[in-house]
């Protein structure tokens, strides 16, 4: 793997289900849903936020517990529920509102709603090991970890290690 691609990254864009979680939806007797996040992914996000990296989350879900988790991780650019827009449209709107060259952005998705964003020629497209076949076939980097099981930490760590920042405390 060419580390040069990781060295250019200043910003991360993540999906939730299947990327930051394992894609499972747990349903309680009350009908409420909850998701499980990996603590090491969260730790890596916290380290990267402290180091000045920017984060954006684009997800079709609208669960308040997920929003609270992202707030706790200090992720401010959070787009939940599509409002009739595709992920590509949401991503393009976000991109137009920030001053970040697209070749400095790492995107991690796992399923077909992420496909159009990941096809953009300047973005660094990544996915978890257990992404769907179509996503695996277009990713610039496939994490050896599954979604919700360390894939987020893997890509953050790859970027920070490539820049010699991972072990800086």
Domain of 35, CATH number, reads 3.40.50.1000
Ordered strands of the 11-14 beta sheet: 77-80, 54-59, 11-14, 105-108, 124-127, 141-142
> What is the rounded CA–CA span in Å between residue 130 and residue 22?
9
How confident is the model at residue 139, as a pLDDT? 97
pLDDT tens column, 126-141:
999 999 999 999 999 9
How confident is the model at residue 125, as a pLDDT? 97
168 in a structural domain: no
How confident is the model at residue 1, as a pLDDT? 52
Total tally of structural domains belonging to the chain: 1
Q: Is 130 annotated as a binding residue?
A: no
Q: Which domain holds residue 131?
A: 3-163
Q: Is 17 annotated as a binding residue?
A: yes
pLDDT at 82 over 70: yes
How confident is the model at residue 89, as a pLDDT? 96
Find the helix packing angle between 39-50 and 151-162, rounded to 10°: 30
151 in a structural domain: yes
59: left (phi over 0), alpha (psi -120 to 50) or beta: beta
169 in a structural domain: no
80 in a structural domain: yes
39 in a structural domain: yes
pLDDT at 67 over 70: yes
102 in a structural domain: yes
Q: Is 41 annotated as a binding residue?
A: no
């Amino acid at each position: 793997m060419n580390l040069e691609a990781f060295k250019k990254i200043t910003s991360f864009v993540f999906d939730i289900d299947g990327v930051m979680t394992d894609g499972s939806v747990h349903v309680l007797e009350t009908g409420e849903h909850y998701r499980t996040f990996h603590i090491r992914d969260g730790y890596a996000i916290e380290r990267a936020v402290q180091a000045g990296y920017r984060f954006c989350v684009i997800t079709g879900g609208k669960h308040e517990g997920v929003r609270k988790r992202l707030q706790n991780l200090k992720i401010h650019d959070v787009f939940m529920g599509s409002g009739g827009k595709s992920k590509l449209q949401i991503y393009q709107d976000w991109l137009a509102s920030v001053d970040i060259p697209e070749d400095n952005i790492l995107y991690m998705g796992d399923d077909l709603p992420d496909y159009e964003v990941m096809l953009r020629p300047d973005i660094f497209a990544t996915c978890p090991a257990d992404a769907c076949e179509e996503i695996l076939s277009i990713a610039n980097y496939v994490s050896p970890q599954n979604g919700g099981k360390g894939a987020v930490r893997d890509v953050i760590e790859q970027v920070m290690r490539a820049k010699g920042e991972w072990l800086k405390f």
